[in-house]
Structure 1
Amino acid sequence: MVGTREHAESFLTQGLADSRRSELMTAARKGEPFDVESGLPKSMVDQNRDIPWYEHARNYIAMKWDDSPGNTRRTLAEAMATVTPAFVKDTKGMPDARTVRSALYGWAFNKNRWEEEPPAEVAQVLAWFQRKSLPTSALTDRLLVKAALRALSKRLDGKTAAPGTISRKRAIFYNSLEFAVDAELLTDNPLDRVKWKAPEQVTEEVDPACVPNPAQAAKLLTAVRDQSKRGRRLTAFFGCMYYAAARPAEVIGLRVTDCDLPRRGWGTLRLHETRPRSGTAWTDSGEAHEKRGLKHRPRKAVRPVPIPPELVALLRWHLTAYGAAPDGRVFQTLRGGLVQDTGYGEVWAEARSRALTPTEFHSALAKRPYDLRHAAVSTWLSSGVEPQLVAERAGHSVAVLFRVYAKFLKDGDDAANAKISARLGRSV
């Protein structure tokens, strides 16, 4: 009897019944709490509830999936695929690392594929992990947890992963263990008890060596325009990144109705939609791009960005020459589709080879189209625009602006000092 409830269990032999009675008596002498519903001591209840880590990891993916965008789903799957091989009873019969990663990442932890029949070789790998996976309760062993941390610190080739990648995977691993605690598979999060030196944080500061100055940016845009038909179609695309500090995914989603393009003077872009590329395997729609709101903003948030006459002219010319896509998008491919990162990346690489000197070309200068956005923000800061206004137009918080563009803010020290000196001189 536990509380006011009686419990009974039948056994085939007297010996089995005596053994169970002995287990119950031992738990009672130790003062272990008993579960009213089952009539069993807590340790036995936990054993009955325990599931293999492989199953728990899939439950964690299922829990996170619906509320996660495609790129987050990929990151979750990558983290689970990295740590899961550390939680097996033995490695006998385990395939090579690349085969394992491909099966776990592409099938075991991709919920979109759970209803599909995997190829035979993938099915064998997944069946192996189902057989060999340790129970989730085994993660109370700190050495096991440390083995997982070592795994997420390495790339497939054995080299140390980037600090940012390690930190991101560790955060997901920690969250999966918190889910195990919530599911009463673990009493506490074992990572809290493991001594582990976190990797050095990736510096978020933009390197000024990557950022083109206005003259270099103008040459690059000209080189985009002059190289091909595809380049001409992308001139205003890159212009939005340089003159409006727009992210590529924001430019891809830009619509004609979002643009105020007067014949003279400054115009405005109202950014409110992004089209990040996640890959067809990770989206609910089966399309490579998702339709989402602004980064780190509520879904219906709008970010108005004043744009100079130079960009107004580029956009007006673009719309006159090419029109808009059927759904109202400003930019489209020759076939009316979404602009792809591979396509505009090739155009940008060719523009660099044409516009930059050999020394500049082999440097980090404007290596990525995204550096045009950095150039826009740095230009605004060096022009004396208040950081709060720069952050608002760029879609940053002020804290992120100060952290990411610290070097450009420091460049204004001399000008600030001169203003302070002038003020102090007038007050004497």
Structure 2
Amino acid sequence: MAVDGSTQQAGKRWTDDGEVREERTLKDRAENTTRRVPAPPALVRALRSHVERFGPGPDGHLFVTRAGRFGRPLPAAYCKPVHPNTVTRTWAKARAKVLTADQIAKRHAARPYDLRHAGITFQLNAGVPATQVAEWAGNSVKMVMEVYAGCIDGQTSTALKRLMLATDEDEAGPAAKN
């Protein structure tokens, strides 16, 4: 999947034009640059299905309001990205359905943005090299390691096995490798 920017809900005081939302390009990249991000096949199917059913909104946004007051359809020119309040309410309902009371109390996946953190942590725990994780996340390796290295868990036995294999191969000599 290719990403080329985002719509931020910054608030009128924090945008250049006084609008609530602001379109931003990828951080620290030239305009019209894209970044490749891995997506599981099920997500790709769901997104393709959404685009087939609804089409993209103005400016290529996938998730926009398509109905106004009383459910009346809006002309495309008036469709805007889904309001953050709607996302927050929907997210809270989804969390209540799939998380335990303990997980909710501990604030697991408290915001949709937390999925980014979960994804990065998942990739590191799966053994994906930090350089690749950083590229997909659009961060530096330094940032990934500073923020997420403490989340890496469960790799001790795998790392020890790799070290033992490397040591055994070295002690056995080149003939044992063939």
Q: Which amino acid is 2:29 matched to? A: R
Distance 1:297 1:386 in 2: 22
Report how many aligned residue pairs link the two structures: 160
**1:368 aligns with one of 111, 115, 122:** 111
Tell me the residue number matched to 2:18: 286
TM-score with structure 1 setting the length: 0.35
Q: Secondary structure at the match of 1:296?
A: coil
Larger Rg: 1
* TM-superposed deviation, 1:400: 0.2
Percent of residue pairs identical:
36
Q: Which amino acid is 2:167 matched to? A: L
Q: Which amino acid is 1:321 matched to? A: R
1:318 matches 2:50: yes
* TM-superposed deviation, 1:419: 0.7
> Could you say which structure has the higher strand fraction?
2
**1:425 aligns with one of 168, 175, 178:** 168
Tell me the residue number matched to 1:359: 102
Q: Secondary structure at the match of 2:33?
A: coil
* TM-superposed deviation, 1:401: 0.4
Q: Secondary structure at the match of 1:317?
A: helix
Q: Secondary structure at the match of 1:276?
A: strand
Tell me the residue number matched to 1:270: 2
* TM-superposed deviation, 1:389: 0.6
Q: Secondary structure at the match of 2:30?
A: coil
Tell me the residue number matched to 1:382: 125
**Once superposed, what is the RMSD of the aligned Cα atoms?**
1.8
Distance 2:165 2:140 in 1: 31
Gaps of 5+ in 2: 68-78, 172-178
4+ residue runs over 6 A deviation: none
Bigger relative CO (Cα 8 Å, ≥ 6 apart): 1
- Contact kept, 8 Å, 1:319 with 1:330, in 2: the verdict is yes
Give 1:301-340 correspondences, 5 Å limit. 301-335=33-67, 336-340=79-83
Q: Secondary structure at the match of 2:25?
A: coil
Gaps of 5+ in 1: 1-268
Distance 2:16 2:150 in 1: 41
Distance 2:42 2:104 in 1: 26
* TM-superposed deviation, 1:320: 2.2
Distance 2:148 2:156 in 1: 14
- Cα deviation, 1:244-300, whole Å, max 9, x if unaligned, reads xxxxxxxxxxxxxxxxxxxxxxxxx22122211222244333321112211233334
- Contact kept, 8 Å, 1:402 with 1:409, in 2: the verdict is no
Distance 1:291 1:358 in 2: 36
